[in-house]
Amino acid sequence: MTTWIDGHFIAGDVALDFANTVFRRTPEQGSDLLDSTESLASWFAHAGLPAGGTLAEARELRSLFWRIFDAQSEGADLPIDALGNLLLAARSDAVAVDADGIPSALSGVGALPTLALRALRLALKPPSRPVRTCDRCGWFFLDTSRGRRRRWCSMQTCGNQAKAERYRGRDHGVLKTSTRS
């Protein structure tokens, strides 16, 4: 079972955080952090939402999120079939939407539909801070940096690892040069 920490919730939007429930989303779809119904329930608890839905439903919804947010972060048109399925997933009697357009779940039954509504909100009314993917792990985040140039989900993890790799790359370069001479 996954122990969720604040480091799993760095995206700036709960729908993106939900999309980021894989350890390494790209390039090879790393290990799935939504590995059990218990992990799903505790994810909702950490996100401050009522828990509900099955693991299969959650993963299916998440795969829709990947397609929508991948397109968004690439500046491409949204895949219309995924958007249609997201609308279907959002349909529920157990959700409420306030005057500001913020959805919430009235019970566990409305948990996944609420996430679907949050994703639709992000898809149809994109914030001024663009949706980006981490260069290293593929996690999504809202780019709140001043220059809109943020490249990593987190400087503590991917940012530092990317730096370390660059240094190692530099060492290799030196080695290559010295063996050649």
Q: Which is nearer to Zn ion, 91 or 148 (CB)?
A: 148
Shortest Cβ 162–Zn ion spacing (Å) = 9
What sign for the dihedral angle of Cα 135, 142, 2, 111?
negative
Shortest Cβ 25–Zn ion spacing (Å) = 9
Residues that bind Zn ion (CB under 5 A): 134, 136-137, 139, 153, 158
Shortest Cβ 7–Zn ion spacing (Å) = 11
Q: Which is nearer to Zn ion, 50 or 138 (CB)?
A: 138
Q: Please state, in angstroms and rounded to a whole number, the distance separating the CA atoms of residues 84 and 105.
A: 21
Q: Which is nearer to Zn ion, 43 or 139 (CB)?
A: 139
Shortest Cβ 135–Zn ion spacing (Å) = 7
Q: Which is nearer to Zn ion, 122 or 158 (CB)?
A: 158
